[in-house]
């Protein structure tokens, strides 16, 4: 091969002989969290924690299928290659574990590791019991009642009742290497700084509280077709929206969650990529129905507030990064049903319902709402809630005050009893919610899952809803499941446990150097597809 013209012979020989050096690729993400999510294998900070320090590092028997963007994400095999209901017991599911999987520390993933982790979440007297992780997991999988090892590659997990949607709860059970716990002297606080070992496509390499968590590509990942393209990921908590935009513009990060809506146009003009996409998500207020003397015990008050909200105005305020929410599901969803109430801005109807409940201009409704400064799926909570405060005052003379707390404090409040001192008298909580599947519906609204057991913070009970949920839990025919789901959702609209406000369109801003990102219809993202060029 002729040498390049004009190069000295020695230099030409060096260029030919030396292997081509490739710079290590690093993806830096600015999260909305105020602190890095916990790193023991069950992250806090809501689903943003699961998005970045859950599934990429610590996996479940069942995983989300994020390969498609044309429909809401379903499930796919994860650490279990298949599962089925036990033929002799519809409450029990048999999970067949994937062979050859190892944790990042080289120890095997097997049935003993599954049982060890389930004891960590559900057995309070086990040495590895981790109370914060247990609280999160029990609330997400409230039906789980028992489990056992069948053999090294098979486990049985039993629910408290038959539920066709049980695998949609199992998807939230993540697994950490038991060896991580032993290496840390059986101290979970130290496990999080080791770092802990999972089985995912990335492994944790460094943890700096309030600053960053570093991940590295797992070159030995069990799914060879899904090994990460990027070498490293740095996750950085930046809770203030404009600070995230400034970090992106300054080149300190490559990707930010939830950019401030009024900054989107200038980011586009500067060459940054803005992504949005509809996904199963709702941004509501959770009514505190169960508190003593709560004005929200009266369904007419709960309905009235849903007629007093100017959703279209809020969408305009958000620069089109949201859609109006008039139920837990979107009106376009085939399971929305045909409720009697079709919420819209109708102050006259809202005031009439309030008057029928004994609320007048002389005795106006006053609500105290606990909100966060930022957080997973919380969009822009401070300006959005200020908009609602003024909106409700103008339309229906409702006086709203706020108690502003950090996101994790608000999440903890969502699992509190209705008169708990931790709520500080709150009549409602502004906590964004997934609306991805019936298991989530059961977790948030079934009367059996009232807080603190589950996420039914309102302490809402509707017999027709419970009956529909029971019907679909035992159904196997798709049409029967769809019919019961529609009936259940109609009750969520007509006897509303929440104030439905908007659905998020999940905006992100990225450097044009970030390639391969797709916006699935899910809270979660597939970081393995992404490269930085």
The pTM of this model reads 0.89
Cis before residue 433, ω within 30 degrees of 0? no
Is 53 within 8 Å of 235 (Cβ atoms)?
Answer: yes
| Cα–Cα nearest to 335, from 469, 148, 177 | 469
| Cα–Cα nearest to 489, from 293, 383, 335 | 335
**pLDDT value of position 21:** 57
**pLDDT value of position 70:** 87
User: pLDDT for 393-411, tens place per residue?
Assistant: 999 999 999 999 999 999 9
| Cα–Cα nearest to 218, from 378, 338, 102 | 102
- The matching CATH number, chosen from 1.20.810.10, 3.30.310.80, 3.40.1160.10, 3.40.190.10, for 23-57+200-278+506-533 is 3.40.190.10
Q: Is the CATH number of domain 281-504 3.10.105.10?
A: yes
What Rg, from alpha-carbon coordinates, does the chain have? 25
CB burial of residue 73 (10 Å; 0-12, 13-18, 19+):
buried
d(CA 349, CA 358): 14
The residues, any chain, with a CB within 8 Å of residue 352's CB and separated by 6 or more, are: 304
Strand partners, 76: 63
**pLDDT value of position 9:** 39
Is 445 within 8 Å of 451 (Cβ atoms)?
Answer: no
**pLDDT value of position 476:** 84
Ranges of CATH 3.90.76.10 domains, the chain: 58-178
Q: Which residues of the chain have pLDDT under 70?
A: 1-22
Give the dihedral sign, CA 320/326/332/333. Answer: positive
**pLDDT value of position 16:** 44
Q: How many CB atoms sit inside 10 A of residue 416's CB? A: 17
**How would you label 204-240 residue by residue, b for 16+ Cβ within 10 Å and e otherwise?**
beebeeeebbbbbbbeebbeeeeebebbbbbbbbbbe
d(CA 121, CA 130): 7
User: pLDDT for 27-56, tens place per residue?
Assistant: 999 999 999 999 999 999 999 999 999 999
Ranges of CATH 3.40.190.10 domains, the chain: 23-57+200-278+506-533
**pLDDT value of position 518:** 86
Q: Which CATH class is domain 58-178?
A: alpha beta
């Amino acid at each position: 091969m002729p040498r390049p013209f004009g190069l000295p012979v020695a230099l030409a020989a060096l260029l030919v002989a030396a292997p081509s050096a490739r710079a290590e690729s690093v993806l830096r993400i600015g999260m909305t969290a105020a602190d890095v999510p916990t790193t023991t294998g069950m992250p806090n900070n809501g689903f943003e924690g699961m998005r970045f320090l859950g599934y990429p590092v610590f996996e479940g028997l069942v995983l989300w299928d994020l390969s498609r963007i044309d429909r809401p994400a379903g499930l796919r095999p994860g650490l279990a290659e298949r599962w089925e209901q036990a033929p002799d017991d519809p409450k029990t599911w048999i999970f067949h574990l994937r062979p050859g999987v190892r944790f990042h520390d080289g120890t095997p993933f097997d049935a003993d590791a599954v049982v060890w982790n389930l004891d960590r979440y559900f057995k309070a007297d086990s040495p590895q019991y981790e109370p914060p992780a247990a609280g999160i997991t029990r609330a997400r999988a409230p039906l789980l009642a028992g489990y056992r090892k069948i053999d090294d590659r098979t486990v049985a997990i039993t629910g408290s009742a038959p539920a066709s949607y049980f695998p949609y709860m199992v998807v939230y059970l993540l697994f950490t290497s038991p060896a991580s716990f032993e290496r840390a002297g059986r101290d979970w606080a130290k496990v999080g700084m080791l770092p802990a070992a999972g089985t995912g496509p990335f492994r944790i390499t460094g943890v700096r509280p309030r600053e960053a968590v570093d991940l590295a590509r797992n070159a030995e990942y069990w799914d060879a077709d899904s090994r990460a393209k990027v070498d490293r990921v740095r996750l950085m908590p930046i809770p203030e929206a404009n600070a995230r935009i400034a970090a992106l513009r300054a080149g300190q990060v490559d990707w930010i969650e939830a950019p401030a809506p009024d900054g989107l146009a200038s980011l586009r003009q500067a060459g940054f990529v803005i992504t949005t996409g509809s996904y199963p998500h709702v941004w509501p207020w959770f009514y505190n129905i169960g508190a003593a003397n709560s004005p929200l015990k009266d369904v007419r008050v709960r309905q009235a507030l849903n007629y007093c909200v100017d959703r279209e105005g809020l969408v305009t305020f958000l620069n089109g990064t949201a859609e109006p929410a008039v139920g837990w599901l979107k009106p376009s969803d085939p399971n929305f049903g045909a409720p009697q109430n079709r919420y819209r801005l109708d102050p006259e109807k809202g005031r009439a319902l309030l008057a029928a409940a004994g609320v007048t201009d002389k005795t106006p409704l006053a609500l105290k709402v606990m909100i966060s400064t930022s957080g997973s799926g919380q969009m822009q909570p401070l300006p959005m809630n200020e908009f609602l405060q003024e909106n409700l005052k103008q339309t229906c003379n409702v006086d709203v005050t706020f108690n502003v707390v950090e996101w994790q404090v608000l999440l903890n409040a969502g699992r509190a009893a209705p008169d708990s001192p931790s709520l500080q008298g709150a009549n409602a909580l502004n906590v964004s919610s997934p609306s991805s599947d019936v298991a989530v519906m059961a977790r948030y609204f079934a009367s059996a899952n009232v807080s603190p057991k589950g996420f039914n913070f309102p302490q809402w009970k509707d017999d027709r809803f419970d009956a529909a949920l029971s019907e679909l839990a035992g159904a196997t025919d798709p049409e029967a499941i769809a019919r019961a789901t529609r009936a259940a959702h109609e009750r969520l609209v007509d006897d509303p446990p929440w104030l439905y406000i908007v659905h998020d369109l999940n905006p992100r801003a990225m450097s044009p150097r970030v390639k391969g990102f797709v916006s699935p219809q899910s809270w979660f993202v597939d970081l393995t597809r992404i490269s930085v060029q």
